[in-house]
A and B are shown apart, each in its own frame.
Chain A
Amino acid sequence: MNTALEATGLVKRYGRHATAALDDCSFRLPEGRISALVGPNGAGKSTLLAIAAGLLRQTSGQLRVLGAGPGEARARVGYLSQDKPLHPQLSVADTLRLGAELNPDRWDAAYAAGIVEQGSLDPRTKVRALSGGQRTRVALAIALGKRPELMLLDEPMADLDPLARHELMGTLMADAAEHGTTVLMSSHIVAELADACDHLLLLGGGRIRLGGGIDDLIGAHSLVTGRGDLSKHTVVESRASGRGVTALIRRDGPVGEGWQVQEPSLEELLLAHLRSPEAPALITPSTASTADRTAVTA
């Protein structure tokens, strides 16, 4: 399977003595996945996405984007951040023309215009007169009009009302499904991610704590309630409940007698890992970087 994004020992430090935003971060994102990028504030999500988009230079380590260096694949990568910068003095039509002029080999004018029309926007309106949702729609049209193979989204919907967010996520996901676009999106809204994504990258302390297909990751964990010995499993989080404990464990073999076993929800899995940053990382083989897989084999 081809690789959309692969990080090897990626480090980004802002200033010489600052703590690293990304600290020896390694992972691989296969092509065609719709991956959530989750982590506490300051975990390095925006930094990772900005490096991948060619907007920031890493301090050390390597990041391959669609098989090229970051910045070498600009034409094939779409990027949308929360601030969604657009030129306020341009009309919507001129903004779309800008997309066409700056992506001469890839621009799909009809498709971009279609996204704008769905929001019933007048093309003559100046960008400065648009509402937040309308601006996001125009920014999305610019990002999708170039027909990216990899779409990087840094909480672009965070400031929108639920209705606009639902509508624009719909547009985005329909596009990804139709064209097989790889998507990496950061968000704090777990419900939104659970609906849209089939893959997960959990960042903590500048590294990947959890990485893989969401079904695989959920399948590797159990939510158990009861009493007894859990020492042969990896306990991510446990807390007292009634006369026993409730624990989220990474199973190693069958869970013994006396435990009530449940499959955790994505939200339970994420919260347990966010609350327990010291839990060991789990990266499924398809998501481990080539270097790491070689190390495991050896």
Chain B
Amino acid sequence: MSATAFSPRSGLTWTVLRLHRGSIWLWALYVAVTAGLLLWAWGPGTSGLGIIGVCSPKVATGCVAEGDTAGAYHYVLQFTDVLVSFLPAAAAVYAGGTLIGQELERGTAQLMWTQSVSPVRWLTTKLVLPALLLVAGTGVLVLLRRAVAAQTPYLTDNQWFTGSPGALSPVVMAMPLLGLACGALAALLKRRALASAGIGLVLTVALGTFVGLVRSRLWPTETVFGSVERGYPGFVGEVVSEGAVTGSGAHVADPMCGADRACLVDHNITGFYTEGHPPSHFWPLQLVETGLVLALTAAVVALTYRTLRKRVAV
């Protein structure tokens, strides 16, 4: 296959870009608006902040932001964190479920397959092009969000374990791929635009929730202990679990004795523990989580191609 086969100005690539011009413009608009908000937070938003307290990696909430732009800065970041964390995956479900399901529903997919285009090549193009656009757009936003966080790294809004972890992490760049694959699988199974988007979304949310449930177990945690007298140890980072320690060293639920010494002795409590991920676990945790999302994506993509191959001659 020659290089021109992948040129945006010709062939199947041109066709798919031309067919979904409207959706591509909408995506570009979303990326531009969100990038604009983040650029504001990075520039004028940050320079208008007055930091009160001591910002330190050793203290979770050592400093707070005051100043002219503090309120707007906080709301812009909360808003963009939701936009960056969830919208790309939703857009991806639309690209996989609706855009592919609609073509199968209308029969225009069959129109393409009766030209000189095999169904496998058609599906690959319908997956690769949105995947590139989604990952590139989301990547730009994550980089900008990280640039904003790097300006005042220890503010609550900018720490992964106190703010929104998603917008700072490569996981949100992988989630659109999972959404796209789930949408495409639903599209091939249902061959309906709306039903496919619905089923694709449910599947994406289910798999995303599964990843969310296991994510804190994806990297070994650290545990710190406190004595009976001093109570819970201080821990900066993401807390996974905490409770009491018994004489045998077992971790049990806190019996909630308060200062009641007799109660503690009664329950054989010899100390307290906090288990979690310190700030330094950000990259190993996020990379393993990204890997898990990509592995799930690969499995769904394989199922999608299998479904296509069962239905048509490829």
Contact = CB atoms under 8 A, between A and B. Distances in A.
Interface of A: 51, 53-57, 69-72, 74-75, 77-79, 81, 83, 85-90, 94, 98-99, 101-106, 142-143, 146
A102 B110 contact: no
A104 B117 CA distance: 10
Given A71-B314, A74-B115, 15 more contacts: A54-B113, A54-B118, A55-B114, A56-B311, A70-B313, A71-B312, A74-B113, A79-B114, A85-B106, A88-B106, A89-B19, A98-B15, A102-B116, A143-B114, A146-B116
Contacts of A83: 107
Contacts of A57: 309-313
Contact of A87 (B14, B19, B118): B19
A102 B19 contact: no
A75 B313 contact: no
A4 to B, nearest CB: 16
Interface string B2-43: 000000001110110011001000000000000000000000
A54 B312 contact: yes
A69 B12 contact: no
Nearest to B310: A57
Contact of B14 (A53, A85, A101): A101
Interface of B: 10-12, 14-15, 18-19, 22, 106-108, 110-119, 309-314
Given A85-B110, A86-B108, A74 B116 contact: yes
B313 A106 contact: no
A74 B18 contact: no
A236 B118 CA distance: 44
Given A101-B11, A101-B12, A106 B114 contact: no
Contacts of A79: 114
Nearest to A143: B114
A270 B56 CA distance: 90
A77 B113 CA distance: 11
Contacts of A90: 18-19
A56 B12 contact: no
A81 B22 CA distance: 28
B313 A54 contact: yes
A86 to B, nearest CB: 7
Contacts of B107: 81, 83, 85
A56 B312 contact: yes
A103 B115 contact: yes
A104 B113 contact: no
Nearest to B314: A71
Contacts of B310: 57
Contacts of A101: 10-12, 14-15
14 contacts: A51-B313, A54-B113, A56-B311, A69-B313, A71-B312, A74-B113, A85-B107, A85-B108, A86-B111, A87-B106, A89-B22, A90-B18, A102-B15, A146-B116
